[in-house]
Amino acid sequence: MKKSPDTQKLEQILRSSAFSAAGFMGTDTRSLAEIIDADMAEVARLGYTPQQIAQRMQQITDKAKSALGNWIKINDTHSAMITEVKGRIPCPWPHAGNYAKRVTTLQDTQTGRKVHFSDLNIHLIAEHNFFEGRGSAFRVEPKQIVEMLF
Ligand SMILES: [Zn+2]
């Protein structure tokens, strides 16, 4: 499939390290469209939409915000904590909007398993169906996040 100039430019931005340490694509050699298609298929197979996943992530972030950097109980088996770095990061897609550099860590208190995600991850999943490339520091693995969230 031939890529439009806009898509080419976006992919270039996503692969560059200007925004985040390893870029949004990590070591993933697949195209943006391939990454999104594969993750959308996986999310559908798991029985959810990206918007449902993002909404649940947002609820957890909102709850954890009130704990001011301490662990807070989300339910009987999960707790969450916020780490916030000064500054904001823009969405790499061509639209206005930037996001606090806030990271939510969600922990399964029974297994010790943790996942982390940023405010930008929530936006990228909800609006762009983008979970980031494999090897990216902020890649959200659909199966893993669904198991932790629902
Ligand atoms: Zn965006």
Residue 73's pLDDT is 97
70 class by beta-carbon count within 10 Å (0-12 exposed, 13-18 middle, 19+ buried) = exposed
Gap from CA of 41 to ligand 1 centroid (Å):
21
- At residue 149, the pLDDT reads 95
State phi, psi for 128 to the nearest 5 degrees: -120, 5
Encoding tokens for residue 110?
Answer: 């029974």
Is the full-model pTM beyond 0.85?
yes
Task: Please tell me the predicted confidence (pLDDT) of residue 31.
Answer: 95
How confident is the prediction along the chain (150 residues), in pLDDT tens digits per residue?
577 888 888 998 898 865 555 589 999 999 999 999 999 999 999 999 999 999 999 999 999 999 988 999 999 999 999 998 888 989 999 999 899 999 999 999 999 999 999 999 999 999 999 999 999 989 999 999 999 999
Predicted pLDDT of residue 18 = 59
CA of 106 to the centre of ligand 1 (A): 23
Of 64, 48, 74, nearest to 103 by C-alpha is 64
Q: 111 CA to middle of ligand 1, Å?
A: 33
Two structure tokens written together for 7: 């898509």
pLDDT at 106: 97
CA 120 to ligand 1 centroid distance, Å: 8
The H or E element containing residue 127 is: helix 119-128
CA of 127 to the centre of ligand 1 (A): 6
Distance between CA 66 and CA 109 in Å, rounded? Answer: 19
- Exposed, middle or buried by CB within 10 Å (0-12, 13-18, 19+), for 139? buried
The whole-number pLDDT of residue 58 equals: 98
**Beta-strand runs (E) in 18-133:** 72-73, 78-90, 98-108, 114-118
Residue 80 CA to ligand 1 centre (angstroms): 25
